Every structure is written in structure tokens, then in C-alpha cells.
Amino acid sequence: MNNMIGYYVPHSLYPNGYHVNPKFPLPFINIASQKNFIALYHMGLYNDVMLLKWFKTEYPKYVKNKLDMGKSCIRLKKTETIPYQLIGELVSIITPKMWIERYEQAITK
């Protein structure tokens, strides 16, 4: 979707797919190259207040510059300061099963 690299929950695990268009698998993490930054979209950050708090607390331990992010978008402006280890931890915290549960709770509200 939108010409980004995407990590999705496949229809084999979640047959309902993405509620906006069920033909698409459930999106979870996307990466895009923008003009002035790399954008990392992690839907769990948008959906989980505790995960967002954890990430905001951990980020300064890895990177000296200020965290630049939107609701689910982390803007990485300098490739030499990308916190690869932190991103690795972030993407491993939520399993596909956990994401499906959180997603379903969010869309039924």
C-alpha cells in the first residue's frame, strides 16, 4: 500500500484483513523514504499508550537528538543516528496475535 515496504499480518493469520479494504492484509509496520527523512510507521505505537511511553523513554538512551514523531510515524532524519537496536526491540515486542487483539479492540470502539 502506498509504495512503502510493509510488514503485515497475512490473511492466513487474520482472514478479515484490513477493515478499510479487507482485500489487503492487516498492516502493522511500514517504512518509507521521504524527501528529508526515513519514516517508520509502527501501528502499535499509535494503539498502545504503554508501548509509546516505553519507546519515548528508551529513545534518548540511543540517540542524542530529539525524537521526531507523529501518531505512529517515527521520522529518522540522519541515517548515522538510526537506533537499530531499539527499533529491533520495538518490532519484537508485539506478536501478530497481540496486534490482532489490539486492532480488533480499536475498531470495535
Run of H or E including 31: strand 26-33
pLDDT digits (tens, 9 = 90+) for 3-21: 789 999 999 999 999 999 9
pLDDT digits (tens, 9 = 90+) for 20-71: 999 999 999 999 999 999 999 999 998 899 999 999 999 999 999 999 999 8
pTM: 0.86
Q: For the chain, list the domains and their CATH numbers.
A: 5-107 (3.90.1150)
Q: What is the dihedral of CA 75, 98, 55, 45, to 10 degrees?
A: 40
